[in-house]
């Protein structure tokens, strides 16, 4: 792999600089490829070696760079050494480059890049990823779609790197909305509609009861009483709630399957209604709980009464809140999984909430709070289906399939397919995901169906098209030649630039593993396809 070359360069540098090779490996990076000229394969940033040195009077970097390059020698691996602005550049023996890269692509298959020395020595960790987390009976909006695909990417990446990953879908299955829903179903619900299309029917009931509660105080009062009955463990109320929850999860599992997403655990706020009371007792015992005039309980995280640092943890009637249940969930997961890292994937609007939750865990004495991380993402605007604004994930999946089928029908080169619906859905989903993953996750963006389905340019459709063409070549010519190739046939600039790009893949994976941004991998694949 690329790291075999890195290791070789690092060993030579190690002898000259009197530093261990392990220290140097991550300072040696692959050079971005250029279509205009042939570039070196690796470069060492001399500045990165000195970044821990605070001596501002250190000699001129360029002078140091030239002196270092003069001390290095070409060998069987490195065929040329040169200098750039603050960098020492290394060109790998072209025959060796071709042979090594192609052999590793063939031998490692889908593990290519993952065996790199960039990842060696990294401990295998237990990682919990909480993502998707829709609210039962409420809209499954675009934010949940983003959370689903981003969380799935992070879980896949961590798993590929050998970590033990637990995927949790933490449903919004508790809270005042269930008071409204329970009352609403008693007033407007139909059992047969609930069985045939649970998500749609519960949503309709929820919308209707909200309107009624706004106009009729008795409906609002009944909803409040229903939720109190739930909190007190009333069997009838709980049986109805359980039915809503079970039917909804059944639907979610079916829809996630279309996305290629699975979860190890369907948890929810409901699991922590009792444990959140223990959290309140613990906060109280540490003198952190303060009662307000309204009867609610709050925690002052500033210690000085700063209103922006006050977090409400209990309603005036003693029932728990989102923050309290999140605290209980974090503590429970640490007991259950003993995680090294827990990642929450939600929109950036919840940034303050998670800051407060992590801070509260810290002041409660849980030093593992620093292992918790919030991965925020921006807002998507303008995603509408033929039915109007996005209501459910299934609406989006059906829209993708429909539009992709229309696109395929309009292209003359589309082959006859055994299952055009499935192909349309898969290509369409890839297009949607690539569109989402091209930029920074934190950025808001304006959604456009037309842009998603463009077959030219840097799009998911183009990526799938390239992949299909390569498969077609393999089917036509077979892959036997890959075990016995002539390196001399692959020395022209185009071949070399592809080999150089393949050489960079482990570095791209490493960067994505560091900042959890999929854009590095997407950009890499689009360049490779070009």
The answer to whether residue 141 is catalytic is yes
The answer to whether residue 144 is catalytic is yes
Q: Rounded distance, CA 484 to CA 99, Å? A: 10
Asked if 436 contacts 448 with a C-beta cutoff of 8 angstroms, the reply is no
Q: Rounded distance, CA 423 to CA 428, Å? A: 8
- Does residue 133 come out as left (phi exceeding 0), alpha (psi in the -120 to 50 range) or beta? left
The answer to whether residue 125 is catalytic is no
Instruction: Identify the three-state secondary structure at position 194.
Output: helix
Element (H, E) at 30: strand 28-30
| Mode of pairing for the β-strands spanning 265-268 and 164-171 | parallel
Q: Rounded distance, CA 17 to CA 431, Å? A: 48
Q: Rounded distance, CA 271 to CA 320, Å? A: 12
Active-site entry in 115, 126, 138, 139: 138
Active-site entry in 91, 141, 374, 520: 141
Instruction: Identify the three-state secondary structure at position 27.
Output: coil
Active-site entry in 91, 144, 201, 520: 144
| Mode of pairing for the β-strands spanning 289-291 and 384-385 | unpaired
The residue among 178, 99, 168, 167 whose CA lies nearest residue 138 is 178
- Residue 254's CB: how many other CB atoms inside 10 A? 10
- Residue 222's CB: how many other CB atoms inside 10 A? 21
Instruction: Identify the three-state secondary structure at position 485.
Output: coil
Q: What angle do CA 88, 89, 95 make, to 5 degrees?
A: 150
Cα-flanking dihedrals φ and ψ of residue 25, to 5°? -50, -45
Instruction: State the catalytic residues.
Output: 138, 141, 144
């Amino acid at each position: 792999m690329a790291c075999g070359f890195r290791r070789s360069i690092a060993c030579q540098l190690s002898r000259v600089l009197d530093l261990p090779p392990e220290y140097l490996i991550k300072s040696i990076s692959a050079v971005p490829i250029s279509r205009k000229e042939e570039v070196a394969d690796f470069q060492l940033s001399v500045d990165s070696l000195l970044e821990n040195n605070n001596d501002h009077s250190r000699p001129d970097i360029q002078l140091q760079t030239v002196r270092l390059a003069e001390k290095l020698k070409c060998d069987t691996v490195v065929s040329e050494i040169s200098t750039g602005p603050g960098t020492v550049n290394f060109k790998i023996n072209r025959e060796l480059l071709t042979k090594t890269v192609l052999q590793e692509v063939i031998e490692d298959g889908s593990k290519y890049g993952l065996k790199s020395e960039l990842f060696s020595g990294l401990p295998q960790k237990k990682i919990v990823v909480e993502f998707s987390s829709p609210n039962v009976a409420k809209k499954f909006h675009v934010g949940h779609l983003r959370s689903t695909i981003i969380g799935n990417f992070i879980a896949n990446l961590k798993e590929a790197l050998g970590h033990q990953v637990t995927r949790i879908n933490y449903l919004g299955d508790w809270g005042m909305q269930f008071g409204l829903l329970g009352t609403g179903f008693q007033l407007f619900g139909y059992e047969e509609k609930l069985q045939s299309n649970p998500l749609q029917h519960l949503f309709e009931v929820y919308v209707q009861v909200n309107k009624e509660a706004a106009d009729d105080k008795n409906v609002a009062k009944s909803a409040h009483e229903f939720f109190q009955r739930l909190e007190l463990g009333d069997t009838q109320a709980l049986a109805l709630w359980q039915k809503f929850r079970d039917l909804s999860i059944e639907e979610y599992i079916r829809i996630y399957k279309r996305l290629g997403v699975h979860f190890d655990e369907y948890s929810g706020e409901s699991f922590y209604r009792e444990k959140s009371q223990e959290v309140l007792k613990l906060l109280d015992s540490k003198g952190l709980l303060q009662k307000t005039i309204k009867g609610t309980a709050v925690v002052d995280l500033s210690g000085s009464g700063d209103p922006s640092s006050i977090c409400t943890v209990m309603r005036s009637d003693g029932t728990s809140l989102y923050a309290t249940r999140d605290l209980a969930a974090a503590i429970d997961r640490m007991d259950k999984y003993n995680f090294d890292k827990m990642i929450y994937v939600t929109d950036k609007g919840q940034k303050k909430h998670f800051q407060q939750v992590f801070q509260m865990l810290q002041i409660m004495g849980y030093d593992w709070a620093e292992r918790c991380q919030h991965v925020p993402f921006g807002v998507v605007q303008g995603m509408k289906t033929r039915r109007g604004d996005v209501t459910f994930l299934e609406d989006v999946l059906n829209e993708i399939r429909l539009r992709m089928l229309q696109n395929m029908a309009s292209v003359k080169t589309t082959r006859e397919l055994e299952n055009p619906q499935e192909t349309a859905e898969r290509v369409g989903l890839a297009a949607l995901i690539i569109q989402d993953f091209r930029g920074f996750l934190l950025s808001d963006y304006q959604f456009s169906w037309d842009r998603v389905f463009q077959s030219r340019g840097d799009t998911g459709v183009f990526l799938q098209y390239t992949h299909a063409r390569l498969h077609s070549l393999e089917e036509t010519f077979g892959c036997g030649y890959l075990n016995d190739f002539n390196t001399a046939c692959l020395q022209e600039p185009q071949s070399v630039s592809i080999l150089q790009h393949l050489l960079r893949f482990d570095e791209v994976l490493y960067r994505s593993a560091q900042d959890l941004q999929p854009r590095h991998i997407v950009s890499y694949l689009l360049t490779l396809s070009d």
